[in-house]
Amino acid sequence: METDPGPDETVDSPQRMLHFARSHKQLLVAFIVLVLAVGYCLWEEMRLSKDRDFFLHHVDHEGVAEACLGILSKPEQDRWTQVGLYLGSDPKLPEAIRRLDPEAVSIHVDDIAITKTPRHFYNRLEFTQNKTNPTRYDLSYVEGPRGLRTTCLYSIYTK
């Protein structure tokens, strides 16, 4: 004699199969999104590492620092004409800076920032006057949106 299965017994009904397929599809989509997110993060880190290596090991730090000092040591009225955001290939920039093939160069009245990769202005070279010694200017590698990691690469003293 056959009995009908009770509510606790397993039955492969179409609704149950549909629910099973949906949950697996959702898991697959979540897995794909996770893989893409991790891949993107690794790719971004690779690009940042490439910039870091370039700025730390393949740049003429002395030449770039002297070029930046040349810009900032102009009389104040001339300095204001150079304030702005420049493309790296702009002929107004000194040759030592253009040789870096930067994406952008940001010149302010009292500092200069040079970035290599678009969208990564927080991974840059920065030329600033030292806060404790006004006769010293530092060329530093700055990483992170708020200068999370800063490495002084070269210093110039003025008279």
Integer-rounded Cα Rg, in Å, for the chain is 28
Asked, for residue 138, whether it belongs to a domain, the answer is yes
Most confident among 4-8, 88-92, 130-134 (mean pLDDT): 130-134
**Which conformational region is residue 101 in: left (phi greater than 0), alpha (psi within -120 to 50 degrees), or beta?**
left
Percent of the chain at pLDDT exceeding 70? 78
Structure tokens given for 77:
């009225």
Q: What is the pLDDT, as a whole number, of residue 121? A: 56
Q: What are the distances in angstroms from CA 140 to CA 23, 30, 95, 143, 152?
A: 52, 41, 19, 10, 4
Asked, for residue 5, whether it belongs to a domain, the answer is no
Q: Give the chain's domain count.
A: 1
Asked, for residue 54, whether it belongs to a domain, the answer is no
Asked, for residue 51, whether it belongs to a domain, the answer is no
Structure tokens given for 60:
């003429």
Q: What is the pLDDT, as a whole number, of residue 5? A: 55
Domain holding 64, by residue range, is 60-157
Convert the pLDDT of each residue in 28-61 to its tens digit: 888 898 889 888 878 777 777 788 888 889 999 9
The C-alpha atoms of residue 21 and residue 26 are separated, in whole angstroms, by 9
Asked, for residue 16, whether it belongs to a domain, the answer is no
* Confidence band, pLDDT 50/70/90 cuts, at residue 119: low
Report the pLDDT averaged over residues 84-96.
86
- Asked whether residue 95 carries a pLDDT value surpassing 60, the answer given is yes
Other beta carbons within 10 Å of 157: 9
* Contacts for 109 with CB less than 8 Å, ≥ 6 apart: 76, 79, 80, 83
Asked, for residue 107, whether it belongs to a domain, the answer is yes
Q: What is the pLDDT, as a whole number, of residue 3? A: 57
Q: How far apart are the first and last CA of the chain?
A: 107
Q: What is the pLDDT, as a whole number, of residue 104? A: 87
- Asked whether residue 77 carries a pLDDT value surpassing 90, the answer given is no
Asked, for residue 3, whether it belongs to a domain, the answer is no
* Confidence band, pLDDT 50/70/90 cuts, at residue 21: low
* Confidence band, pLDDT 50/70/90 cuts, at residue 63: very high
83 and 72 Cβ atoms separated by less than 8 Å: no
- Asked whether residue 118 carries a pLDDT value surpassing 70, the answer given is no
> Taking all residues of the chain, what is their mean pLDDT, rounded to a whole number?
81
Q: What is the pLDDT, as a whole number, of residue 86? A: 84
The C-alpha atoms of residue 115 and residue 51 are separated, in whole angstroms, by 9
SS3 97: helix
Asked, for residue 125, whether it belongs to a domain, the answer is yes
* CA quadruple 125, 96, 134, 74: dihedral sign: negative
